[in-house]
């Protein structure tokens, strides 16, 4: 079992070995709150861009659906006359300066998620751990008029106009404690301060209901299975029908959600073998089975496409976030007010 899995089981399950850190919780909470309070009290410490900035993030570690949300937002913005651009940390790559990401960029140079986002969102993108510097570079080298930050909710050096917090419908906030006792980067109360809370789900769960907060449900909509080389596609229901056996592999923050998506598409548990890797895993050819049908996430496919594989029966599943009309209207209305404020500055 990986270190990541060891912590995850404690945060989201019944195994509570991380409680040994409980005496540190008040100190950790105080540090987290003081960091935010510092930037709120001194706005001059944050970089305020000349265009609206939207942060899509979360208060917990692990996958919550940020990437599909970023793609959905960029498409919504483009459809409404905006010229969106994206900034991201570029996790897993050694990035020493703000760097443009293109659809044909290598994941080892800029990170796996940024390459996927550049392909799916089809808009300018820059990666750099310091999001404020990334935004400056993006604005100085492109004609974007609105910025979407992939993650970075706790990066307060970047001033933001709209915050969207993503929540996993099943895991939610786990045991409700801050790192390392729980999965939270900030206290649960932080959710009451964001502009929108979105959960990648079709139905409200008991976990989400306990928060007693307005939460938008936005289901993931799979399209078709795509071959790793991008030359073929398969209807999911036809591919998973009958007794066909599939090996599932994923190196993402919440692989169980990927498994649940495949099962909803008709893949039966009795026909499944799976292998979970750590988030942002650097795949090698021997990680992929040499024969049999294999399905992976789109993010993992970005890294596996450059491998020399003997197995030609490898597929990935692109998904899109279905934003409810009510959310779209509320988001665009808020953005309209922000645009007016920016024009008066």
For the stretch 32-61, pLDDT in tens is 999 999 999 999 999 999 999 999 999 998
- Alpha-carbon 12 to chain mean position: 19
What per-residue confidence (pLDDT) applies to 62?
A: 80
Confidence at 24, pLDDT banded by 50, 70, 90: confident
Mean pLDDT of all residues in 140-150? 98
The confidence score (pLDDT) of residue 341 equals 74
Confidence of residue 87 (pLDDT cuts 50, 70, 90): very high
Measured CA to CA in angstroms, residue 20 lies from 8, 24, 25 at distances of 15, 9, 10
Cα gap 66→55, rounded to integer Å: 10
Can you read off the two tokens belonging to residue 242? Answer: 């009958």
For the entire predicted model, the pTM comes to 0.92
Q: Summarize the confidence of residues 99-124 as an average pLDDT.
A: 95
Length of the chain: 345
Residue 218 reports pLDDT greater than 50:
yes
CA dihedral 15, 21, 24, 28 (to 10 degrees): -60
pLDDT attached to residue 36:
95
3 state DSSP class of 145? coil
Mean of the per-residue pLDDT values of the chain: 92
Q: How large is the angle between the packed helices 112-121 and 66-79, nearest 10 degrees?
A: 30
Buried residues in 116-128 as b, exposed as e (16+ CB within 10 A): bbbbbbebbbbbb
For 194, how many CA atoms within 13 A lie in the half-sphere containing its CB? 27
Q: What is the pLDDT of residue 44?
A: 94
- Give pLDDT, residue 7: 74
Using DSSP, state whether 126 is helix, strand or coil.
strand
pLDDT tens digit sequence for 154-206: 999 999 999 999 999 999 999 899 988 889 999 999 999 999 999 999 899 99
Q: Which of 341, 249, 295, 279 is nearest to 151 (CA)?
A: 279
Least confident of 73-77, 228-232, 251-255, 297-301: 251-255
Tell me which residue of 76, 33, 80, 37 sits closest to 56, measured CA to CA: 76
Question: 233-234 and 84-88: which strand pairing?
Answer: unpaired
Of the candidates 10, 5, 16, 50, the one whose C-alpha atom is nearest the C-alpha of residue 342 is 50
pLDDT value of position 1 = 46
Token pair belonging to 210: 């306990």
pLDDT value of residue 344: 61
The whole-angstrom separation of Cα 242 and Cα 115 is 35
Most confident of 61-65, 179-183, 330-334: 330-334
Question: What's the rounded Cα separation, in Å, for the pair 163 and 196?
Answer: 7
**pLDDT at residue number 16:** 66
- For residue 294, list its beta bridge partners: 247, 314
Reply yes or no on whether the pLDDT at 89 is more than 70.
Answer: yes
Q: How many CB atoms lie within 10 A of CB 156?
A: 18
- Give the DSSP letter string of 202-254: SS--HHHHTT-S--EE--EEE--EEETTSS-EE-HHHHHSTT--EEEEE-SS-
Q: Which residues of 38-71 are buried (b: 16+ CB within 10 A; e: fewer)?
A: ebeeeeeeeeebebbbbbbbbbbbbbbbbbbbbb
Please determine, for residue 137, whether its predicted confidence score (pLDDT) is greater than 80. Answer: yes
Instruction: State how far the Cα of 319 lies from the Cα of 88, in Å rounded to an integer.
Output: 20
Q: State the pairing for strand pair 220-222/319-321.
A: antiparallel
């Amino acid at each position: 079992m990986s270190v990541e899995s060891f912590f995850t089981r404690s945060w989201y399950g019944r195994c509570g070995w991380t409680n040994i850190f409980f005496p540190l919780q008040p100190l950790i909470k105080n540090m987290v709150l003081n960091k935010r309070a510092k930037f709120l009290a001194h706005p001059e410490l944050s970089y305020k861009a000349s265009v609206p900035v939207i942060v899509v993030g979360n208060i917990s570690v692990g996958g919550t659906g940020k990437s599909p949300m970023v793609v959905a937002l960029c498409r919504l913005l483009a459809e409404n006359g905006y010229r969106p651009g994206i900034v991201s940390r570029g996790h897993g790559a050694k990035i020493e300066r703000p760097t443009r990401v293109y659809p044909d960029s290598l994941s080892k140079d800029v990170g796996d998620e940024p390459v996927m986002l550049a392909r799916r969102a089809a808009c300018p993108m820059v990666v750099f751990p310091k999001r404020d510097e990334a935004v400056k570079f993006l604005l100085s080298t492109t004609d974007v008029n609105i910025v979407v930050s992939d993650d970075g909710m706790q990066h307060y050096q970047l001033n933001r106009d709209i915050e969207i917090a993503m929540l996993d419908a099943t895991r939610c906030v786990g045991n409700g404690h801050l790192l390392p006792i729980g999965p939270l980067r900030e206290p649960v109360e932080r959710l009451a301060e964001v502009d929108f809370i979105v959960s990648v789900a079709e139905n409200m769960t008991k976990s989400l209901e306990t928060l007693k907060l307005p939460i938008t449900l936005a289901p993931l909509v799979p399209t078709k299975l795509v071959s790793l080389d991008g030359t073929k596609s398969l209807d999911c229901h036809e591919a998973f029908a009958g007794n066909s056996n599939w090996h599932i592999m994923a190196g993402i923050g919440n692989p169980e959600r990927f498994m649940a998506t495949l099962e909803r598409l008709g893949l039966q548990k009795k026909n499944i073998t799976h292998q979970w890797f750590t988030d942002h895993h650097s795949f090698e050819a021997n990680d992929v089975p040499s024969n049999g049908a294999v399905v992976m996430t789109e993010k993992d496919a970005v890294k596996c496409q450059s491998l020399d594989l003997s197995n030609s029966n490898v597929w990935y599943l692109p998904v899109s976030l279905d934003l409810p009309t009510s959310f779209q209207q509320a988001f665009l209305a808020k953005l309209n007010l922000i645009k007016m404020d920016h024009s008066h500055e």
